[in-house]
Amino acid sequence: MTSTNSDHTGGHRREVDYEKLGPALLIASSLVLAIRTAKWSPTHGDGLSTVDLDKEVEHSVRIAKIVLSHLTGRHPELFQMKNVPWYVATDDEVPK
């Protein structure tokens, strides 16, 4: 584990807080799923297959991940950021 001792901290860099993107992924994939299945006829019954719906859910999550990946890569300022420290190696940590 990396030490968080202030002697070794070289500074901080701003990064997207990926831990907080879970709700955004859930909402985005739900919207994609709703749009893609909006014209489906309503079905009821226990004996009906959910294979098509399962495929649509997987596809919706895949689309939402691609969009979020694109946005975090090209427009990170849209998302919550956090300061991540970067460390400077000391003479004790450099291999000889």
Instruction: Give per-residue pLDDT as tens, 11-64.
Output: 899 999 999 999 999 999 999 999 998 888 777 665 555 678 889 999 999 999
Task: Provide the whole-model pTM.
Answer: 0.68
CA distance 52 to 72: 30
Residue 84: its H or E element: strand 81-87
For the chain, the domains span: 11-37+50-87
Rounding to the nearest 10 degrees, give the CA dihedral for residues 63, 65, 68, 74.
Answer: -90
Three-point CA angle 7, 12, 17, nearest 5°: 130
Q: Where are the beta strands (DSSP E) in the chain?
A: 9-16, 81-87
